[in-house]
């Protein structure tokens, strides 16, 4: 049963609102293991739809799923020098392979005789184990490209965790491709970024900015990292997906060469790309409100809930004669519908629960509606109600689901536009960065300047956007030449 203490309003404490909402809407909760979450059935149902939608898009691009080991030999992490700098530090290390009964009778203890020769790391990402595998798969240009993806769990020993946004263990997909040419690999990395952007906007209703990361924010071992960046309701940025052009770095580290069609040996070109359960955090923080979740119909586990309003069994029976066929018809159309005819909760209690859970459309029908041939329709996104004719209700529902999907996307886009500002001086920047939003600024292109700005303001470059104004200018911090404006923001 949901908990109907009101959520802390966003204006009071955005962070507290988020934490409460994730738990109260039955999306996820902390587990007994520090930093590891339990994804509850309602939250997992959303994740399953995210998976299905992405998986279909990946397969359209020729990707095939596979599975690589959870554990990575410690020595693999040292193979790619930049990679180890970025990743090897905070991770779960397996050192033993056996427990034994405590000689003092206190439960079980680690068997000191079962120490592994080489420690194993729970994957924080799988480039190393995958490229050690690809070495056996690739000998000639005929074996390329390889376009593999895996859906799996990964682990990074984060010190400060928040449900979905930053957890020690999380679920994700990681694509790893191998190509014969630099150009093909670069194009593929860009293609997958487009897949992510299309998915985020069409399915999650989250507008995103596509761009390239500054060298400081690149993935460890990548030559270029592309990302999609979204603005949350508090004006902070959230990186919602990344696609990396890895050059030949991993091929060189794991000695993966192929015979070209000109009979020469060359190193293979690589990409990797991933999105994670972090998307759930982006979903919540883009659309939801003080009443609870707001879900885009395309992702809602329940798109339409139907609540008959009744006091006695015969009233219920009369209502169900209308409502059961309606539910069946909606199901046939592929609409995810639930009828709640339980007598264990009042209509008001039910309404609040479905609002909390973000069900896009709620239908309620009582005795008077039955007489009048009407039904009450409530939209979660606008929190508006209207009484409509029962006659065209199926068509009305279909249209409304589309309208809601579009509306919440447009609302988020309008918010981002309203909170994106051009800033031209350092003084202005220091003031504006205290307010929510993205700042479009000129930057001299150096890591040094980016680091200084971060040290003074906590703002980072989210991306160098692909689209928009490309006029050159002068760096807000150093006054040196800048090729184009970049996005600075405080980020999750």
Which residues of the chain form contacts with its own copies (CB under 8 A)?
A: 1, 29, 31-33, 36-41, 44-45, 47-48, 64-78, 84, 88-100, 107-108, 110, 119-122, 129, 132-133, 136, 142-143, 148, 152-153, 155, 157, 169, 171, 344
Q: How far is the CB of 37 from its own copies (least distance, A)?
A: 7
- Of 91 and 180, nearer to its own copies (C-beta) is 91
Which residues, at least 6 apart from 275, have a Cβ–Cβ distance to it below 8 Å?
54, 172, 173, 196, 240, 241
Which residues, at least 6 apart from 399, have a Cβ–Cβ distance to it below 8 Å?
none
CB-based contact 112:147 (threshold 8 Å): no
Question: Residue for token digits 């592929």?
Answer: 334
Residue 99: phi and psi, rounded to 5, are -105, 165
- Of 155 and 195, nearer to its own copies (C-beta) is 155
Q: How far is the CB of 39 from its own copies (least distance, A)?
A: 4
- Of 152 and 388, nearer to its own copies (C-beta) is 152
CB-based contact 300:336 (threshold 8 Å): yes
Q: What Å distances lie between residue 434 and 66, 236, 272, 427, 457, CA to CA?
A: 45, 11, 35, 12, 8
Burial (CB count <10 Å: 0-12, 13-18, 19+), residue 143: middle
Instruction: Tell me how far apart the alpha carbons of residues 161 and 286 are, in angstroms, rounded to a whole number.
Output: 20
- Of 94 and 491, nearer to its own copies (C-beta) is 94
Residue 202: phi and psi, rounded to 5, are -80, -40
- Of 1 and 455, nearer to its own copies (C-beta) is 1
- Of 141 and 438, nearer to its own copies (C-beta) is 141
Instruction: Tell me how far apart the alpha carbons of residues 487 and 476 are, in angstroms, rounded to a whole number.
Output: 12
Q: How far is the CB of 225 from its own copies (least distance, A)?
A: 23
CB-based contact 141:157 (threshold 8 Å): no
Q: How far is the CB of 349 from its own copies (least distance, A)?
A: 13
Q: How far is the CB of 36 from its own copies (least distance, A)?
A: 4
Q: How far is the CB of 145 from its own copies (least distance, A)?
A: 13
CB-based contact 405:298 (threshold 8 Å): yes
Q: How far is the CB of 76 from its own copies (least distance, A)?
A: 7
Question: Residue for token digits 């449900």?
Answer: 163
Tokens of 116: 């592994």
Largest CA distance in the chain: 83
- Of 33 and 417, nearer to its own copies (C-beta) is 33
- Of 253 and 460, nearer to its own copies (C-beta) is 253
Which residues, at least 6 apart from 343, have a Cβ–Cβ distance to it below 8 Å?
none
Question: Residue for token digits 């928040």?
Answer: 162
Q: How far is the CB of 456 from its own copies (least distance, A)?
A: 29
Question: Residue for token digits 């015979």?
Answer: 259
- Of 276 and 396, nearer to its own copies (C-beta) is 276
- Of 186 and 353, nearer to its own copies (C-beta) is 353
Contacts 24+ apart (CB under 8 A), 132-139: 132/76, 132/254, 133/68, 134/176, 134/178, 134/254, 134/256, 134/268, 135/254, 135/255, 135/256, 138/178, 138/256, 138/257, 138/258, 138/268, 139/258, 139/259
- Of 8 and 31, nearer to its own copies (C-beta) is 31
- Of 109 and 333, nearer to its own copies (C-beta) is 109
- Of 101 and 399, nearer to its own copies (C-beta) is 101
Q: How far is the CB of 195 from its own copies (least distance, A)?
A: 19
Question: Within 10 A of 244 (CB to CB), how many other CB atoms are there?
Answer: 27
Q: Could you give the angle at which helices 393-418 and 313-332 cross, rounded to 10 degrees? A: 70
List strand residue ranges (DSSP E) for 139-248, in order.
Answer: 146-155, 169-179, 209-212, 224-231, 237-247
Q: How far is the CB of 226 from its own copies (least distance, A)?
A: 25
Q: How far is the CB of 190 from its own copies (least distance, A)?
A: 23
Q: How far is the CB of 243 from its own copies (least distance, A)?
A: 20
Q: How far is the CB of 329 from its own copies (least distance, A)?
A: 21
- From the list 279, 277, 162, the residue with the least C-alpha distance to 228 is 279
Query: What are the beta bridge partners of residue 155?
Result: 169
């Amino acid at each position: 049963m949901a908990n109907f203490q009101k959520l802390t309003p966003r204006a009071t404490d955005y962070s507290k609102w988020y934490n409460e909402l994730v738990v109260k809407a039955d999306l996820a909760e902390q587990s007994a293991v520090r930093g590891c979450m339990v994804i509850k059935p309602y939250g997992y149902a959303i994740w399953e739809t995210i998976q299905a939608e992405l998986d279909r898009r990946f397969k359209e691009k020729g990707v095939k799923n596979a599975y690589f080991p959870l554990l990575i030999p410690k020595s693999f992490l040292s193979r790619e020098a930049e990679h180890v700098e970025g990743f090897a530090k905070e991770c779960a290390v397996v050192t033993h392979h056996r427990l034994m009964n405590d000689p003092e009778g206190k439960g079980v203890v680690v068997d000191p005789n079962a120490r592994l020769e080489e420690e194993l790391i729970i994957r924080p990402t799988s480039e190393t184990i995958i490229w050690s595998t690809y070495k056996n798969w690739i000998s000639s240009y005929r074996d390329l490209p390889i376009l593999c993806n895996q859906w799996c769990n990964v682990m990074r020993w984060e010190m400060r965790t928040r449900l979905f946004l930053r957890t020690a263990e999380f679920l994700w997909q990681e694509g790893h491709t191998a190509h014969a040419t630099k150009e093909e690999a670069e194009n593929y990395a860009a293609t997958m970024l487009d897949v992510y952007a299309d998915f985020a906007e069409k399915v999650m209703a989250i507008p995103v900015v596509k761009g390239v990361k500054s060298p400081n924010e690149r993935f460890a071992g990548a030559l270029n990292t592309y990302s999609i960046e979204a603005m949350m309701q508090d004006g902070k940025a959230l990186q919602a997906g990344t696609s990396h052009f890895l050059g030949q770095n991993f091929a060189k580290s794991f000695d993966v060469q192929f015979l070209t069609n000109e009979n020469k040996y060359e190193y293979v070109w690589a990409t990797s790309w991933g999105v994670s359960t972090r998307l759930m955090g982006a979903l919540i923080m883009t659309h939801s409100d003080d009443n609870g979740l707001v879900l885009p119909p395309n992702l809602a586990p329940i798109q339409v809930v139907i609540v008959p309003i009744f006091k006695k069994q015969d009233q219920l029976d009369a209502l169900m004669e209308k409502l059961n066929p309606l539910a069946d018809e909606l199901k046939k159309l592929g609409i995810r519908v639930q009828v709640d005819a339980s007598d264990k909760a009042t209509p008001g209690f039910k309404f609040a629960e479905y609002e909390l859970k973000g069900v896009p459309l709620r239908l309620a029908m009582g005795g008077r509606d039955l007489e009048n041939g009407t039904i009450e329709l409530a939209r979660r996104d606008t929190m508006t109600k209207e009484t409509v004719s029962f006659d065209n209700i199926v068509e009305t529902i279909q249209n409304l689901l589309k309208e809601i999907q579009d509306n919440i996307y447009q609302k988020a886009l309008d918010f981002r536009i309203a909170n994106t500002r051009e800033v031209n001086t350092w003084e202005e920047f220091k003031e504006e960065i205290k307010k929510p939003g993205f700042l479009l600024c000129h930057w001299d292109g150096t890591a040094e300047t980016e680091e200084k700005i971060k040290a003074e303001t906590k703002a980072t470059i989210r991306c160098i956007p692909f689209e928009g104004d490309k006029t050159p200018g002068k760096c807000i911090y150093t006054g040196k030449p800048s090729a184009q404006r970049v996005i600075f923001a405080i980020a999750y």
